[in-house]
Amino acid sequence: MNFSDCPRPLIVRFSLSQERIPMFATTLQGFTLGLAMIIPIGAQNAFVLSRGIHRNHHLLTATLCCLCDLVLIGIGVFGGANLLAASPIGLALLTWGGVLFLGWFGIRSLRSAWCGQEAALADSPRLMGVKSVLAMTLGVTLLNPHVYLDTLMLLGSFGSQFAEELRPAFAAGAMLASLVWFYGLAFGAAALSPWLARGRVQQAIDLVVGLIMLVLAAKLALGAIPAS
């Protein structure tokens, strides 16, 4: 018998090559770190939640938050962190602008919680037009220094530790986390809106949102005051 005539064993090739394993792990790290920075309640999350509860342009709000995050994450991971660190005056102006904006929005929400339907008819943050939603979303995003610190500084510093060929994977993971979280928050709040939009429940939510905004404004102000 000629062994050369025997069929050769079938060699199975896995589609997931060794080169792709580090890329997947890097993407997973970006996704995990991105979620860890987005999930804690803040101005963005509170505003997306409030728009979702009222089904008031909630998908537009989530989309704009995601787009801002995608741009800032990309800038941070690919070397933009140095821009923020090199401009202390710009950071100070941004911080105090955020203090004023968050303070105004917090007082507005507390007024709505205190006055109930009377405030809703007069000056309520509950129902807004497209332009108001766009302006408020950009405000809670771009006038919040924590957004820049998270996306440019923290994600940027983590991303810079990877080799250049792995940085796109890290950025993609962090961007995916932003998409999953904001759209999940908007859809989830909209699904629960029949219960969450009740009068007493909504007043409680306005109270919580207002307090969150004022606490964030106070933290920004205290952090911007130089130690004596």
pLDDT recorded at residue 116:
62
Q: How many CB atoms lie within 10 A of CB 39?
A: 12
Whether 49 contacts 126, CB under 8 Å: no
Question: Could you tell me the pLDDT band of residue 81, with boundaries at 50, 70 and 90?
Answer: low
pLDDT recorded at residue 151:
80
d(CA 152, CA 146): 10
Percentage with pLDDT > 70 across the chain: 77
d(CA 6, CA 42): 68
Q: What is the pLDDT of residues 36-52, one digit of tens each?
A: 878 766 788 888 988 98
pLDDT recorded at residue 19:
53
Instruction: Provide the Cα torsion 92, 208, 31, 84; round to 10°.
Output: 0
* Averaged pLDDT of the chain: 77
Whether 159 contacts 171, CB under 8 Å: yes
d(CA 194, CA 201): 11
DSSP 78: I
93 alpha carbon, distance to own chain's centre: 21
Q: Could you give the maximum distance between any two Cα atoms of the chain, in Å?
A: 97
pTM of the complete model: 0.68
Q: What is the pLDDT of residues 185-222, one digit of tens each?
A: 999 989 988 877 676 777 787 788 788 778 877 877 88
Burial 50-83 (b: 16+ CB within 10 A, else e): bbbbbebbbeebbbbbbebbbebbbbbbeebbee
d(CA 93, CA 220): 12
Please compute the mean of the pLDDT values over residues 111-136 and round it to a whole number.
69
